Structures are given as structure tokens and as C-alpha cells.
Structure 1
Amino acid sequence: MKYVKIEVFVPEKNVKDIISNVNEYLKDNNYDYVYSSTKVLGHFRPLDGADPYLGSVGKVEEVDEVKLEFRVKSKDAKEVYQIIKREHPYEVPIINVIELVDLD
């Protein structure tokens, strides 16, 4: 079975919404809600033309965020990506999709 790792940075208050919406794809054997989270401090500056969820155009922002990491089947990666984009509050969310090596 081929898998990818997905990493996404979200404001702390949005973690439960995103995880509950992708949980269907986080199942692993007899477990669900299989993911990891790490608190991080995100930085960004909205430029002219941006419509930021947080912060102001032209001002560097620091936001308490959570880095979510989880593994999904490769065949489900696009669907999970679309769910995250739909549920994420940021105009341009950081969503990393990383191919994993199958050692079996």
C-alpha cells in the first residue's frame, strides 16, 4: 500500500474542525484520529491584494499555530487536500504532501 504524509499549519482554534473533517481518511487498522500535532509560531506578512484571515496588509504577523501531521493512502491524498483547503481559514494555507517509501 502506498501512503503520503500530509503536514498542515493551522491556527489552534481550527485544529478540531480540520481533523474531524479528514478523520475518515486517518483510520489505520482498528484506530481512527491517528495524527500528530506540534505547537509552532507561524509568521507571515500579507501583501497588497491579500485578504488575510488574521493580521493586516503590510504588517508582519506572529500566530500561535499547530502543525498537524498524518499519513493517508496515496489514492486519498487529493481528496484530503481538497477537504483541508475547504476547511482551512487561511487564504493560502501551507499544505505539504510528501511521498513515503514502502519498505515492505
Structure 2
Amino acid sequence: MASVVARYKLVFHVPPAALDACKAAIFGAGAGRYPGAGNYTECCWTTLGTGQFRPGDAANPHIGKVGELEFVDEARVETLCLGEDVVRKAVAALKKAHPYEEPSYEVFKIEDF
């Protein structure tokens, strides 16, 4: 019996100007690959929206000013990561490529049914 590789969904938010660089970084780390005969790579879902934040006193914001509420156009990207090692590498690559001091991201384990 073949072992089942754990699946994770990586979701992150990024300003549109940095979207291509962040996607290239996570795909280079192995994210966005789907199992199966089709050998699909660089797969993701991207939507545009508006993010908001207020930088704290100790922040060094890429956008906005300390203490002021900021609204920014952002893309939300969702992609599949096969295996814990891939999702860890993808998050590390995202943090390196992302322009924000603290990128917004989430990792979800996908349960098999």
C-alpha cells in the first residue's frame, strides 16, 4: 500500500506589485504541484481585495505610517503544498520574497476523506 502524503493549503496576502515575485518563490520551493498523471505545476487561486492594518509603535512598515490606519490593495493567493517539508520551504521562501515586515499567511492541513 502506497503512503499518503499530507496535503496543506498555503494562503497569503501580497501587494500586486510583489505578486509575481512571491508566487515564483513559493513555486520554486515546490508549492502548487498537483499529484497525478497530469503533472500540473504552479497552480494557485488569486483574488484581489483590500487589506487594512495599523502599524504599532515599534513597527517599521513597508507601507503607511506608525499609528495610522492604512488600506491597501492586496492579492490573496491559495495553493496546495504536498508534504510538510514543502509547506515549510514555501513559507520560508514567501517570507524572503515578501516586501512586508510581517507577511500575512496561513497554513491549513487538508484532511483526506
Task: Report the Cα offset of residue 27 of structure 1.
Answer: 2.1
* Mapped pair 1:73 → 2:79: no
Measured in 2, the distance between the counterparts of 1:67 and 1:4 equals 16
Task: Report the Cα offset of residue 82 of structure 1.
Answer: 0.5
1:13 to 13, 17, 24: 17
Which blocks of at least 5 consecutive residues in structure 1 are unaligned?
none
Rg larger for = 2
Deviation digits for residues 4-39 of structure 1, max 9, x if unmatched? 001001001111001111213122242221000010
Match of 1:2 in 2: 6
The 4+ residue runs of structure 1 with deviation greater than 6 A are none
Further displaced range: 6-15 or 74-83: 74-83
CA RMSD of aligned residues (A): 1.1
Amino acid at match of 1:51: N
Amino acid at match of 1:11: P
1:52 match: secondary structure = coil
Deviation digits for residues 19-75 of structure 1, max 9, x if unmatched? 111213122242221000010100001111100000011110000000000010123
Percent of pairs with identical residues: 28
Measured in 2, the distance between the counterparts of 1:23 and 1:6 equals 11
Further displaced range: 29-38 or 52-61: 29-38
Using the size of structure 2 for normalisation, the TM-score is 0.86
Which blocks of at least 5 consecutive residues in structure 2 are unaligned?
none
Match of 2:72 in 1: 63
2:57, 2:66 within 8 Å by CA — same for their partners in 1? yes
Measured in 2, the distance between the counterparts of 1:22 and 1:47 equals 28
Equivalent pairs counted in the alignment come to: 103
